[in-house]
Amino acid sequence: MNTTQHLIEEFYAGFAEGNAKTMASCYHKEIQFQDPAFGKLEGPDVIDMWEMLIEKGKGAIKIEFSDVEANELSGTAKWVATYTFSKTNRKVVNVIRASFVFKDGLIIKHTDDFDIWKWSKQALGLPGYLLGWTGFMQRKIQENALQSLRYYQSKKK
């Protein structure tokens, strides 16, 4: 196993343990993150997002990861998050494909890709099933995720 593969595994092991500090230590200070739920985040917003998700999960988020591949420039992994979506109390099993870019031995770009419609059907129930595939609902999901992050950050200060 090379050092970047180890770095990815350390990141997800930290997540599985609910340790945002370990996750943050794997990131470059200029980290860029993107996924269908939050859109694009940079720097401290990325770290705050993971802290918020861990805190909201209250120790009940199950993280599994596999298929970690990496070289000195880039890498990929598959991971699955199983949790209860707090706003609806519905169980979600989200299968995610992650890609990474490395700089100075750390992750500088992290992109998570998952089926937002499949996620919305699980998390939101009927409204997600009926509208989760639409751009309108996907923008609403992103707006709500960012609003939650900003609220978390305001309480943290």
Tens of pLDDT, residues 65-119: 999 999 999 999 999 999 999 889 999 999 999 999 999 999 999 999 999 999 9
pLDDT tens for 26-58 read 999 999 999 999 999 999 999 999 999 999 888
pTM here is 0.92
Query: What residue ranges define each of the domains in the chain, with the CATH number in brackets?
Result: 3-156 (3.10.450.50)
By C-alpha distance, which of 68, 56, 63, 73 is closest to 8? 68
**How far, rounded to the nearest angstrom, does the alpha carbon of residue 30 sit from its chain's CA centroid?**
17
